[in-house]
Amino acid sequence: MNHLNRSLRSDSDNLRARNLKAIVLSKLQRPEESRVLLRETLALDPLDWWARHLRGDELSCDTQTLLDLALDFARAGFYAEAIKLLGKRASVASGRAANEPQHNLSLHMQQKDAQNRGANRHARLALDHYRRAAAAPPDYCFPSRLEEIAILETAMAANPRAARAPYYLGHLFYDRRRHEDAIKLWERSAKLDPKFSIVWRNLGIGYFNIRRKPRKARTAYDRAFRTKPADARLLCERDQLWKRVGEAPVRRLRELEKRLGLVRQRDDPSVELRALHNQTGQPAKALTLVSSRHLQPWEGGEGGPLGQWVRSHLALGRLALSGRAPSSALRAPSPPAEERAGGEGEGWLPHRRVSGRCQGPRAFRGGIDRAAQSR
């Protein structure tokens, strides 16, 4: 209590210290003082979930906030309270695990850690929770807290044949720039569960970006795609890797054309397919291909669809010139701002345009001069 009072003298609005003091007052059989302090805390911040929970409110916060509350209890040594809090949400989450798989894993891991610290008699129950966590769907589960490093390491020691704990810990380490540790953990996970596509995909990224081993990266991505051949993202990322290592455009095009159904699920491989058609001398096919798709601009891909639109028309113009048809070569397409480039989803700003409809090269050159003066 003395430490809490000293902390509050330095910062009277410290919500954690205020809530801890309310808990201690309750433990010291001083419930009225605890209730008054909680009322004052909620007057400072009505949205403070810990104070609302201590007041007896039903928690309707998201699971990540609830995990933070459980860790606040555990850091102060109130393991029983942490276990009780997690147990309530775990029982609710178990009935909807298919929709919220990350809740099952994170909650159980937090609960087992608290139980192991609290008393050895919970070891059997903790092991059961570890196994349930290992069997939970891995979707959208990204541990990020420092405490979760210890939790996952404990899970690996308690259940060394489970593949998910090293996989999740690899995520956390890679995000913290402990790249080599992450790769080793993913390799361990891949050995334990070689049919899990995402761990092979992660290894492909690690081998290429960190270890500078393109062959191993390519092998890992091939393994990932063989494991899950209906994943459009894996197809797209594998093609981008092939592009980085210098695979011939003809072979890349052949692989994408074999799986047009997957390509059509995403915009990025659709643009890449169009680029490959341009690179392999098929500009007309590139234009026809995109006419049925409305491409949405995405971060990192700005200008990509328009760039291929320009390349397609330039290539068609060169083909017309080689066929001694200069009038066809000069005929300008309608700009994307008007026709949306066959469904590009992005267009140029409406500056004065240089049009190929001008009457001959001299007029065309004059159009360039006027466009330059207008900027």
Distance CA 375, CA 369 (A): 11
Q: Is residue 48 within a helix (H) or strand (E), and if so which, with residue range?
A: none
pLDDT score at 309: 80
3-state secondary structure of 162: coil
Tokens linked to 11: 């910062």
Whole-angstrom CA distances from 313 to 1, 285, 309, 368 are 77, 11, 6, 18
51, 22 contact by CB (below 8 A)? yes
Distance CA 235, CA 214 (A): 17
Please give the single-letter amino acid code of residue 322. Answer: S
pLDDT score at 87: 80
Distance CA 107, CA 28 (A): 30
Tokens linked to 297: 């601009």
Question: What pTM did the predictor assign?
Answer: 0.78
Burial of 275 per CB tally in 10 Å (0-12, 13-18, 19+): buried
Any residues with CB less than 8 A from the CB of 71 and at least 6 apart, and which?
82, 110, 145, 147
Whole-angstrom CA distances from 21 to 15, 30, 106 are 10, 11, 28
18, 74 contact by CB (below 8 A)? no
The neighbour count for residue 105, using CB atoms within 10 Å, is 26
288, 342 contact by CB (below 8 A)? no
Any residues with CB less than 8 A from the CB of 106 and at least 6 apart, and which?
63, 67, 141, 143, 148
pLDDT score at 260: 92
The pLDDT tens digits for 319-340 are 887 876 666 666 656 555 444 4
Give backbone dihedrals phi and psi of 37, rounded to 5 degrees, phi first: -65, -40
pLDDT score at 72: 93
101, 138 contact by CB (below 8 A)? yes
Task: Count CA within 13 A, CB hemisphere, residue 33.
Answer: 12
What residue ranges do the domains of the chain occupy?
Answer: 229-289+307-316
pLDDT score at 291: 62
pLDDT score at 250: 96
pLDDT score at 62: 87
178, 169 contact by CB (below 8 A)? no
234, 258 contact by CB (below 8 A)? no
Residues of the chain scoring pLDDT < 50: 95-107, 109, 114, 118, 337-342, 349-359, 364, 367-368, 371, 374-375
pLDDT score at 323: 75
Whole-angstrom CA distances from 27 to 1, 34, 279, 288 are 11, 9, 74, 74
